Structure 1
Amino acid sequence: MTPSYSPGDGPSRPGGPARRRPRLTDEETARRMLDTALAMVHRDGLTVGLDHLGFEDVIRDAGVSRAAVYRRWPYKDLFFGDLLRELAGGAAPAAAPALETTREVLDAVLAAHAGDLATPEGRHDLVTELLRATAVSDFEAVHGSPEWRTYLALQATFLSLPEGDLRADVQAALARSEQRFVERVARGWEAVATALGYRPRPGTGFPVIATLACAAMRGLVLMTLSDPGLLDRRVPANPTAASAAADWSLLGLAAAALAVAYLEPDPDVTWDEARLAALTRTS
């Protein structure tokens, strides 16, 4: 491989007095370069590969010594390999629906339907409405996230990497990111379900539900790349046998199917006045 840099490629001297750049350690230079490139990718998104990212642009924006950069990474491919490791280690969690957002949606629905908590039928309708609302907010948040698009691109980029240390490192980092993403989604499902007196059916659990929910989310996000209308598509339906039909998003229908299949009322929950008051106070 031909080196991307040679001693004659050093920075040109300015015509006026040179402004001395603070001397950084190799580790500080590396951290600045990787952080700058991460910011550029998160801002613009990642295509399949990193060809759109200019090595010299990263050096300029990082404000580091060109000589120090090439001392650390004699070839730009070595830098891009380290950048792929960084991206794979953190892309998915940044795009996961925030637990705080789930709680905000829960509070809003509870505030509007607090009277429904008094009966099993009302609570069932309330859970149904929560599934409709959270599916829309989650889908919009993930679909509009540059980090999520970067994560999808990383999956494709990983498949194109040759066998070796870089491929193994990226695969392991993506697996860890995926696990954190699923765990975060599982906490969102658990927060809503337990607040309204539901539990997973025997033999399953919130991680299983979250894994399937993430798969549905990913599939629909991928499909909207070629068919953007899917994001706004609504289907008149009653997937949970609630008291009335409503217009459902496609992700909402998938979430409702999972809830019907894997959740059931928790027999250990007593809906007395104290529990009703405590739940409505949180909203």
Structure 2
Amino acid sequence: MPRRSADDTRLLIMGAALRMLLERGATAGVQHIRLQEVLRSVGLTTGAAYRIWPDQDAFHRDLAIEMMRLRFAPPADSASRAIREAIAGDGSMDDVVRLAAQDHVSYAARFHLEPESRDSHAFITALALRTAAGAWPELREAAAERHRESIDSFAAFYGELIAHFGYRVRDPFTITDFAEAMAALGEGFAIRAAQGLDHPTYEFSPDGGPKQEWTLFGVAIRGLASAFLEPEGTPGRLD
């Protein structure tokens, strides 16, 4: 059998470490993923690892950075799928807000309800690591890059929705400002879900029509949209 290169060995070890981290979550950063345990799981010796990392801290730093870069789907993919039928069926902006918010709440809750959900675990684990990104400059950089990617993706997603429903962003704000505010709100509710806290829901009719089930996140999004957006051309049903 040909000898593995250092890059192949690193990929093997890091893949096993990421699987452990996703299974267990970032309950204590990455320090609970012990290099010795990872090596045993892939049948390697200590010497193989220490030719790549000088110590356990260096391994943990690289593991945190790799976790920060890991995505199983584009940032706005889940929200886009959640509203697809509403858009195709000529739904209102309220329909889109309600459905997208419900999807985000259930997505974050899967961390507890569906242990096999890779996307949910990756999202929550990366979010937890971002809150401790000050530990290493390289981790701060990776966290900032992940955040920029998410904001760019959602800004494009929101921009298309806003134009579809005949709205524009109020001056002096930008679509990036709106995406940043939405990210802060969504991540706050995701942290609640990671704690196992139930998400409040309400029977609510924002426009006086039949009542439907709304999440608190959805009601909050509607408030944000009212502050950031104004009609342009043919208005939707947000106002």
Instruction: Verify same fold: TM over 0.5.
Output: yes
**Aligned equivalent of 2:107:** 141
SS of residue paired to 2:214: strand
Offset from partner CA, 1:202-249 (integer Å, 9 cap, x none): 22222111111111111112223445221xx2123445x464553310
**Aligned equivalent of 1:248:** 214
In the TM superposition, what is the alpha-carbon distance from 1:28 to its structure 2 partner?
2.0
In the TM superposition, what is the alpha-carbon distance from 1:137 to its structure 2 partner?
0.9
TM alignment of 1:142-221, pairs within 5 A: 142-144=108-110, 145-159=120-134, 161=135, 167-221=136-190
Instruction: Choose which of 107, 110, 117 in structure 1 pairs with 2:84.
Output: 107
**Aligned equivalent of 1:98:** 76
**Aligned equivalent of 2:115:** none
Q: Which residues of structure 1 form unaligned runs of 5+?
A: 1-20, 117-125, 162-166, 272-283
For 1:235 and 1:270, the matched residues in 2 are separated by 26
What is the TM-score with the length of structure 2 in the denominator?
0.81
For 2:155 and 2:59, the matched residues in 1 are separated by 35
For 2:208 and 2:195, the matched residues in 1 are separated by 33
Offset from partner CA, 1:77-118 (integer Å, 9 cap, x none): 221122122223x15x5576533x434333311454x3x7xx
In the TM superposition, what is the alpha-carbon distance from 1:127 to its structure 2 partner?
0.7
**Aligned equivalent of 1:38:** 18
Instruction: Choose which of 57, 62, 81 in structure 2 pairs with 1:77.
Output: 57
**Aligned equivalent of 1:123:** none
| Residues 95 and 218 (structure 1), Cα distance of their counterparts in 2 relative to 1, 3 Å cut | farther
For 1:156 and 1:205, the matched residues in 2 are separated by 26
| Residues 188 and 72 (structure 1), Cα distance of their counterparts in 2 relative to 1, 3 Å cut | same
| Residues 73 and 225 (structure 1), Cα distance of their counterparts in 2 relative to 1, 3 Å cut | closer
In the TM superposition, what is the alpha-carbon distance from 1:135 to its structure 2 partner?
0.9
Q: Which residues of structure 2 form unaligned runs of 5+?
A: 111-119
Q: Please say which of residues 141-150 and 174-183 is displaced more in the overlay.
A: 141-150
| Structure with larger Rg | 1
SS of residue paired to 2:213: strand
> Identity rate of aligned residues, in percent?
24
For 2:133 and 2:88, the matched residues in 1 are separated by 45
What is the TM-score with the length of structure 1 in the denominator?
0.69
SS of residue paired to 1:72: coil
Q: Please say which of residues 248-257 and 39-48 is displaced more in the overlay.
A: 39-48
Contact residue 13 and residue 38 of structure 2 kept, 8 A: yes
Offset from partner CA, 1:163-199 (integer Å, 9 cap, x none): xxxx111111111111111222222222322222222
The answer to whether the aligner puts 1:52 opposite 2:29 as a matched pair is: no
| Residues 106 and 223 (structure 1), Cα distance of their counterparts in 2 relative to 1, 3 Å cut | closer
Paired amino acid for 1:158: A
For 2:3 and 2:210, the matched residues in 1 are separated by 68
Paired amino acid for 1:31: L
Contact residue 213 and residue 254 of structure 1 kept, 8 A: no
In the TM superposition, what is the alpha-carbon distance from 1:138 to its structure 2 partner?
2.1
